[in-house]
A and B are shown apart, each in its own frame.
Chain A
Amino acid sequence: MHLKTDYNFHDPGQRYFRAYRPGDDFYEALIEAHRDLDDEQSERLNARLILLLCNHIGDLRVLREALDAAREDL
């Protein structure tokens, strides 16, 4: 397994006193990025976001595992 599935949200340089906080900071930013977009615009944003993050990860072993994990149960 190359894909990290344990909790990995953090902000280097920021001290967190509550473990849930960096994850909640991320989640809010994610939802906020979609504010005032219609459904089609949201889908386009998500597609762009996936491509950006996939390039950042780069490692095809990780990406293939992530694609499989996301597709399971659908």
Chain B
Amino acid sequence: MFLTYTNPVYEYRKTADQSAAQPVHHPLIVVGAGPIGMGAAIDAAVQGLDVLVLDDNNTVSVGSRAVCYSKRALEVLDRLGCAERMIDKGVTWQVGKVFFQDELVHRFDLLPRPGHKIPAFINLQQYYLEEYMVDRMRQLDGLEVRWKNRVTAVVPRDDGAELTVDTPDGEYRLSCDWLIVADGANSDVRSMLGLQSSGKVFEDRFLIADIVMKADFPPERWFNFDPSYHRGQSTLLHKQSDNVWRLDFQLGWDKDPEEEKKPEKVIPRVRAMLGEDVDFELEWASVYTFQCRRMPRFRHGRVIFAGDAAHQVSPFGARGANSGLQDTDNLIWKLRLVMQGRAPERLIDSYCDEREYAADENILNSTRSTDFITPKSKVSRHFRDATLELAKRFDFARRLINSGRLSDTAVLVDSPLNTPDGDAFSSDLVPGSVMDDAPVIGHVGGRAVHWLLEALDARFHLLLFVDEDGLKDEQTREMLRSAQQQPIPLHPVLIGPRPLNDDVFDSLVDTEGLAAARCDARPGTAYLIRPDQHVAARWRRLDPQALSRALARATAQNEE
């Protein structure tokens, strides 16, 4: 029981599947109802797939583990229909400060360029994020969650998997065509299948303490290297909602974790950090170690791993849950096309290619942050401290300070689904990058939209920039009409400086010209955008053959 939060209890219910003579078949099963499992399930249901979620517990995260949610993760959650409550409840922050031996050496501002719907980061306790996702799951048809259903065995088959599930009423069996495994860093399913996640273990311990205080600290991220109250180590202070603050203390490898999380050990550390006169109550404390590792391959036949089960990072940089939500964003549309028989099964392999690449980038960045924060040798400590000293005076050194490179999206430059640029663009929105947001006004599929990313739902879109006269060319209109009728429909969206009132195609007004500026677009420029809002191809002038080749490539239907 916490001071500011009471964990909800989700009821276990016995289902007919448990008394069936034969294992009941479900096309898609997700193991784990953490943020990533729920992200997968909600996305599947939003895209019209029936999905069953199995979770061994009956509540949300006990204690807040992940705290910091990135713009991209929130954009994904926004597409899934649950970001608004999170942003309202969370603490929006953008200023970070770095101190070295109590002196401010660097201040950074994460304010994204104006004209983005979603803030750079919010801080929110993980239990709120999960609770809002559970509420969202309950609104969706075709989505069923079974609490207190623990998977105890998985038998992979060529065309799916068979599961044994333990419940308060005993065991039962299920089968599925596809299994998504999102049961966390110590994935039981991974172990059951004899699969490994390998990498590097860091020999250091960290204490996290969540405290409640009504203090006058601003909502900023404060990172302290070698502070006088905690010599030779580092600390972090970060605000969450309900006046809960996250404190993080590097302890060193020799400390006893059970001893260190006792209140009588934690409270003096907090007092030393915040000052004797600050009023606070301890809500939750935990001591952790961490690893940077991943599975060599995220797909094993019909069993697909996502989130921490597939890859794990150190907490510096908030690259855990944020990257896991990008896994399922990447996976679910591919799985839908394959399950509907519209794309070949090898489309799923591109999930591995793309998200393994992203995982490597996240592991690289979080390993580097860890090495900077916890130097392993005398010489690396000298370089670290010299960087911090020089940062007081010189820009270059400030930029080398690595207190966590906060979660950003991997640009999937080498993806086999990309059609490389043939035309010249000055914009960084290369094939493989996430489409940038911009303020717009218009309607898409009868929905009013105010942001470009709101217009891009889980279909393929062709964003075609036009001038104030709209799209007049009959040949292009005919091509776009027929593209809408293909087995994988392409949804055209016209975008221009003025309202178009096109009676066939949806259209947007680029109210501030930011969409065109960010895309380096001129009338005639076209962007082919995947259901996960990644750019697949772009051209200065639309050519029917190039478009159909790019769409085939983006769905793994091209000749190899």
Contacts and interface: CB of A to CB of B under 8 A. Distances in A.
A20 B433 CA distance: 18
A16 to B, nearest CB: 10
Contacts, number: 58
Interface string B392-406: 011110011010010
Interface in A1-28: 4-9, 15, 17-20, 23-24, 27-28
A69 interface: yes
**6 tightest A-B CB contacts, nearest first:** A42-B379, A5-B394, A7-B399, A7-B396, A6-B395, A17-B411
Interface of B: 365, 368, 371-372, 377-380, 383, 389-390, 393-396, 399-400, 402, 405, 408, 411, 413, 428, 433
A62 interface: no
A28 B368 contact: yes
A39 B378 CA distance: 7
B326 to A, nearest CB: 15
A72 B390 CA distance: 10
B365 A24 contact: yes
B428 A24 contact: no
A62 B156 CA distance: 65
Given A8-B396, A20-B405, A27 B372 contact: yes
A48 interface: no
Nearest to A37: B379
Contacts of B399: 7, 19-20, 23
Interface of A: 4-9, 15, 17-20, 23-24, 27-28, 30-31, 34, 37, 39, 42-43, 46, 69, 72-73
A31 B378 contact: no
A30 B394 CA distance: 19
A24 B369 CA distance: 9
A5 B411 contact: no
Given A7-B399, A27-B383, A73-B389, 15 more contacts: A4-B396, A5-B393, A5-B395, A5-B396, A7-B395, A8-B396, A17-B428, A23-B400, A24-B368, A28-B371, A30-B383, A34-B377, A42-B378, A42-B379, A69-B390
A39 B380 CA distance: 10
Contact of A31 (B383, B389, B405): B383
A6 B379 contact: no
A20 B389 CA distance: 19
A1 to B, nearest CB: 11
Contacts of B372: 27
Contacts of A28: 368, 371
Contacts of B400: 23-24, 27
A73 B105 CA distance: 15
14 contacts: A5-B395, A17-B433, A19-B399, A20-B405, A24-B365, A27-B402, A28-B368, A30-B383, A31-B371, A34-B377, A37-B379, A42-B377, A43-B379, A73-B389
Given A8-B396, A17-B428, A34 B379 contact: yes
Given A7-B399, A28-B368, A46 B389 contact: no
Nearest to A41: B379
A58 B376 CA distance: 33
B411 A6 contact: no
| Listed residue (B400, B411, B413, B428) with the most chain A CB atoms within 10 angstroms of its CB | B400
A4 B372 CA distance: 24
Nearest to B433: A17
Contacts of B413: 15
B374 to A, nearest CB: 12
A1 B371 CA distance: 33
A46 B380 CA distance: 12
Contacts of A34: 377, 379-380
A24 B383 CA distance: 13
A6 B396 contact: yes
A6 B391 CA distance: 11
A67 to B, nearest CB: 14
A73 B385 CA distance: 13
A48 B114 CA distance: 47
Nearest to B397: A5
B414 to A, nearest CB: 12
